[in-house]
Amino acid sequence: MPDAADPFALFAAWMAEASAKEINDPNAMTLATATAGGVPSARIVLLKGVDPRGFVFYTNTRSRKGAELTENPAAALLFHWKTLQRQIRIEGRVEHVTDTEADTYYASRPRISRLGAWASIQSRRLGERGELEARLKSYEAEYPGEDIPRPPHWSGYRLLPDYLEFWQDMPFRLHDRTTFTRTADGWTTAKLYP
């Protein structure tokens, strides 16, 4: 039984259940960002790390999400596990991971994914797929072996949560909602009406 006062312990327990039961990508999460003017956008990304500081994902920093996180480093995550009838909402500020963390994760990726990080000008208009394939071939020639450096525009972000909500489906739409809000002394918990 996870510590009822620790949202990270509860997250770990729910993620373990999702990893055992969810058919595809239990680490898939919606990432919501917004421009400095408040225009929102959302997309699915993969959770690649979690620790008591926060939740880590990686991307091209020049992508739309990267640009929005530079303008406005507030973001939200949403995990939804339909088979478990659960979801977790997470809100907070975002910071860059360290270069060492980014290098370590980048090196763990398959070769083609590392080359793809160089080839893709993420979120920019692509005339036809052949352009991407030609860029990939160019980088395959430039980096013929396994030694492929991490592009300077590819890194990770850590969402530092201030608020988490654990939602569990219940009969008759009388769902269970438990919140954790960060305070100077740790976390306060509360229940919400469904």
**Burial, 122: exposed, middle or buried (Cβ in 10 Å; 0-12, 13-18, 19+)?**
middle
**In which element (H, E) is residue 158 found?**
strand 154-168
- Among this protein's residues, is 177 annotated catalytic? no
Strand partners for 94: 159
Rounded to 10°, the helix 129-142/111-119 angle is: 120
Residues 6+ apart with CB under 8 A from 25: 46
Q: Which of 89, 173, 177, 182 is catalytic?
A: 173
Residues 6+ apart with CB under 8 A from 69: 33, 75, 94, 157
As a whole number of angstroms, the distance between CA 74 and CA 32 comes to 9
**φ/ψ of residue 25, rounded to 5:** 45, 65
Catalytic residues: 173
